[in-house]
Chains A and B, each alone.
Chain A
Amino acid sequence: MASLPPSFQVADASSPAADDITDLRKALQMPELPYVDITTQNAVRDVLKRWPLLSELSYFAEQNTP
């Protein structure tokens, strides 16, 4: 099932992945600026749609995380 666990929703400032957003926060001098990296979330959702094995396993992981 191609759905994202709710833990994905907001890319927080500590994630090393969002480099241009980190730079944006730095340039605006607003380190607490909430930003939702929707394009990356959409990309993950597309990945799960594209590869059934990945989506099944992620569903499994989702079910089994406390």
Chain B
Amino acid sequence: MFKAKFYHSLRYSGFSPLSAGLLSFFHGIAWLVLRLESPAWQRVLANSARWYPHISNRPPRLGDPIRYVIQSLWLLVVLPISPRVRQAQWSKRLSLLGQARAWLSQKITNATRPWQGEELPPIADVLNKTSKTLRPFAMAIFGVFTTALVILCITEPFDFEAQLVFVFLLWGLALLIRDIPGRFAMVLLVMLSLIVSSRYLWWRYTGTLNWNDSLDLVCGLTLLAAESYAWLILLLGYVQTIWPLKRQPQPLPRDLTLWPSVDVMIPTYNEDLAVVRNTVYAALGLDWPEDKLNIYILDDGRRDIFRQFAAEVGVGYIIRPDNRHAKAGNLNYALTQTQGTLVAIFDCDHIPARSFLQLTTGWFLKDDRLALVQTPHTFYSPDPFERNLNTFHSEPNEGELFYGLVQDGNDLWNATFFCGSCAVLRRAAINDIGGFAVETVTEDAHTALRLHRRGWHSAYLRIPLAAGLATESLSAHIGQRIRWARGMVQILRTDNPLFGRGLNLFQRLCYANAMLHFLAGIPRLIFLTAPLAFLLLHAYIIYAPASLILIYVLPHMIHSSLANARIQGPFRKSFQGEVYETVLAWYIAWPTTLALLNPKKGRFNVTVKGGLMEHDQFDWRISTPYFILAGLNFLGLGFAIWRLMYGPEDEMLTVIVSSLWVIYNLLIIGSAVAVAAEVRQVRLSPRVNTGLAAALRLESGHLYPATLTDYSDQGAGIQAQLPLVLLPDTKVTLVLWRSGRAFTFPALVRRHQGHFLGLSLDSLSHEQRTDFVRCTFERADAWLNKQEQFSGDQPLQHFWDMLALGAKGYARLCDHLPRPIKRLLYLVVDLPRWLYSFCPRIPRFSAKDTSLSSSLHPLAPSAGSVSSS
């Protein structure tokens, strides 16, 4: 009878009669032979999660009897006499090491406390104390001394042992400095990284080119050019981001009559009204005096529904007779039709918070020559990377580095440039340069460049005050980046920031860095194919022994990743930039080269916003270049194996090093492939998660407190304190508050699950929609603290994560292959895994207990007890 129950449960779980019968048979034998009812066995069975962790935590499988036998034998025979003891010793040693390290880092942190602030280190105090006449001499001597030291470090040729010692010294120094908080330590790390990288590059230029062989030379020079580019970008990046300004909002005067008049412009071309109207509603709700605020929809599509909408809600509607020069032309035309002192520009899907103007415009009153205040572009929907890799809100997205750090760093040098949206500009400044720039496809950066040349200032406020929709698919994303890349290179060719009047040195460097950044396509392709030069063509691209290469290259990579992790910590996961660059490399290589050669050519392709990904799919077209690159690298790997087997002895190390490089490249390409596996997007209007107080009113007159857990353009999700059983299509009223004002919205219940209810808000009037936007999207704090606290500065962990992502990418690719190939591949991958499941495991000794969450219902006291005092 017991066996029968077991058999039936197995059949219910999906086992075939034969396997279920077999398992039940063994189960029965076990009970009969071993007498499992005895207390000793019962105790073992009670702790089966501990003794048989790989079997008891999973549903039963056919090989389980064998697994039990193997694990039991191992537990009885092998474990007592074995490495458990050794293992404990090792773990004790490691923990001692960890403790020693912690003690050391604590000591260092305490010793260097005065050097941990955000300001200049105490050296500056010493300099200030020396007398004025001596000071230039002191600084000159100091400058000469450090320059000589640095040049010595970079150019002194070391032999292998000396270089090894030097490398370990610097590495140890960097590890010690890492633990010290504060800006000074960051500057030191940067300097170390620059010294090591410059040394590497010097060595490459002076010692690793083979002038005798033309193939070697050509390959070597190509790689060297790419590495020089990377070094230049590294240097400029450090300069740009080492001292972010962190500007605060400037308060406006108390007297409202002194506030400037603002024209809010919302250009649109072919987007849906559903996307644009929330921006318009939010603009209507901006906290600004009504007589000084004018809102305009700039409709290049000249659509009637937009005109009607504008008339209904009471905003301006501007159209022009043609569509020349796309958005820039649209804005220029609108400038002729309006008069406000300031112009605020929002892309049609960027919904501003109501505090936008009061936080940004103060600076215009403080600085007469200020032409631009830019704020970050935040997205409330995931971009293709975040959606396909499932990292939305858990890791920073691609834009975080630029909007969180780079623009802030630019701000220090007065080099913040316009990004096309979420910004306020001074009309007089735009008129001074003759309107928005129309010659290139990135008209925003070009406009800012022109403003800077005319001596206008710009500012950046690192406060997210508006949020919009991210690009919908990888192909749309790439299309957008191609446009930016082409435009930036066009500017580089036609209006080079390194030459020409009006800019100071640092502005030139910042602009140049922004533009050079987009030339990364070809260098990245070179890096991805460089090791193949040796493996396929037997060309010595780096003409040096492999061991020497390792001790030059590895410190270069390690120090730059340490320094970058420190600087970019919360804004970008280390090595994520490799993934972003690889995805874009192929696609921006050719347009940028074309634009370098001939800036006039090239079409302007508009980014489409607001589409829907119907189902999970793999973007084969977009990922073709990745396959080509991966294919070449696999070929290289094959050649590597052949060379290992048949090649000359002294080349072994070189082959191994090249193979490691190829594997690294393959994994990076794998992560690009991972991004191409598009994940289905479930709903048209993305949801924003939140936690606002709300209430639900039923038609019966009952009200229940609730929390608004998410909202979107068309609905909301709420969590009630007790499960409300409401049928779909029940009419309810959602009550929300802002600033103590109550707002009500008629809604329909769409679904309910336990405490959660999904509501749809389809039929709202303009006023109700405006109120809804007021309570949700437009709250002054809506976009602040959107990112979970991301703890950056773990470069090693992120390195492994990236490699794992690469492997996962290939796995996802297999998911999308046609079925016969998929089955074959699964067989190949599953076989080792299946064999591994038979291996005995170390029993787990930590108990995990699951506590049930206590229910929140209060106990009802008894009422009406009758007694007299």
Contact = CB atoms under 8 A, between A and B. Distances in A.
A20 B738 contact: yes
A2 interface: no
B285 interface: yes
A24 B740 contact: no
Given A19-B739, A28-B248, A34-B251, A39 B774 contact: yes
Given A23-B781, A24-B784, A30-B248, A16 B254 contact: no
Given A10-B254, A33-B251, A23 B780 contact: yes
A60 interface: no
Contacts of B740: 16-19
Interface in B284-301: 285-290
A6 to B, nearest CB: 11
B117 to A, nearest CB: 17
Chain B's interface size range is 20 to 34
A35 B259 CA distance: 13
A56 B855 CA distance: 52
A38 interface: yes
B204 to A, nearest CB: 47
B741 interface: yes
B289 A20 contact: no
Given A19-B738, A27-B784, A34 B354 contact: no
B739 A21 contact: yes
B247 to A, nearest CB: 11
Given A18-B740, A36-B256, A42-B290, 6 more contacts: A17-B740, A19-B739, A24-B784, A28-B249, A33-B249, A39-B287
B656 interface: no
B133 to A, nearest CB: 43
Given A40-B739, A43-B741, A24 B252 contact: no
B721 to A, nearest CB: 20
Interface string A33-58: 11111111011000000000000000
Contact of B254 (A27, A34, A43): A34
Interface string B778-821: 01111011000000000000000000000000000000000000
A20 B739 contact: yes
Contacts of A20: 738-739, 779-782
22 contacts: A10-B254, A11-B739, A16-B740, A17-B740, A19-B737, A19-B738, A19-B740, A20-B780, A21-B780, A23-B780, A23-B781, A24-B784, A27-B781, A28-B248, A28-B784, A30-B248, A34-B252, A35-B287, A35-B355, A35-B358, A37-B287, A39-B354
Contact of A28 (B256, B287, B463): B463
A21 B740 CA distance: 11
A21 B632 CA distance: 57
Interface string B252-284: 101010000000000000000000000000000
B352 to A, nearest CB: 13
Contacts of A16: 740
B292 to A, nearest CB: 10
Contacts of A28: 248-249, 463, 784
Please indicate which of the listed interface residues B248, B285, B287 has the most CB atoms of chain A within 10 Å of its own CB.
B287
Please indicate which of the listed interface residues A18, A24, A36 has the most CB atoms of chain B within 10 Å of its own CB.
A24
Contact of B249 (A30, A37, A43): A30
B739 A18 contact: yes
A24 B353 CA distance: 11
Given A33-B251, A39-B287, A42-B290, A21 B355 contact: yes
Interface in B722-745: 737-741
Contacts of B780: 20-21, 23-24
B739 A24 contact: no
B228 to A, nearest CB: 42
A28 B252 CA distance: 16
Nearest to B785: A27
A42 B288 CA distance: 10
Nearest to B293: A38
Given A10-B254, A27-B781, A27-B784, A17 B288 contact: no
Please indicate which of the listed interface residues A10, A11, A19, A23 has the most CB atoms of chain B within 10 Å of its own CB.
A19
Contacts of A43: 741
Contact of B739 (A10, A17, A30, A34): A17
B743 to A, nearest CB: 11
A11 B741 CA distance: 14
A56 B785 CA distance: 44
A49 to B, nearest CB: 13
A37 B288 contact: no
Nearest to B775: A20
A54 B355 CA distance: 29
B463 A37 contact: no
A38 B287 contact: yes
Nearest to B289: A38
A18 to B, nearest CB: 5
Nearest to A30: B248
Contacts of B254: 10, 34
User: Lowest 10 CB-CB distances: which A-B pairs, in order?
Assistant: A17-B740, A23-B781, A24-B780, A20-B779, A27-B784, A38-B287, A20-B780, A24-B781, A18-B739, A34-B251
Contacts of B781: 20, 23-24, 27
Please indicate which of the listed interface residues B285, B286, B355 has the most CB atoms of chain A within 10 Å of its own CB.
B355
A24 B784 CA distance: 8
Contact of A38 (B288, B738, B774): B288
Contacts of A17: 739-741
Contacts of A40: 739, 741
Contacts of B738: 19-20
Contacts of A21: 355, 739, 780
A36 B287 contact: yes
Contacts of B355: 21, 24, 35
Nearest to B284: A39
B406 to A, nearest CB: 21
Contacts of B737: 19
A18 B738 CA distance: 7
Nearest to B737: A19
A36 B288 CA distance: 8
Nearest to B248: A30
Nearest to A42: B290
A16 B737 CA distance: 12
Contacts of A18: 739-740
Contacts of A27: 781, 784-785
Contacts of A42: 290
Contacts of A34: 251-252, 254
A19 B738 CA distance: 7
Nearest to A40: B739
Interface string B317-358: 000000000000000000000000000000000000011001
A40 B21 CA distance: 74
Nearest to B774: A39
A24 B463 CA distance: 10
Contacts of B249: 28, 30, 33
Contacts of B779: 20
Contacts of B289: 38
A57 B413 CA distance: 57
A2 to B, nearest CB: 14
A38 B285 CA distance: 9
B739 A37 contact: yes
Nearest to B285: A39
A40 B287 CA distance: 9
Contacts of A37: 287, 739
B358 A36 contact: yes
Contacts of A39: 285-287, 354, 774
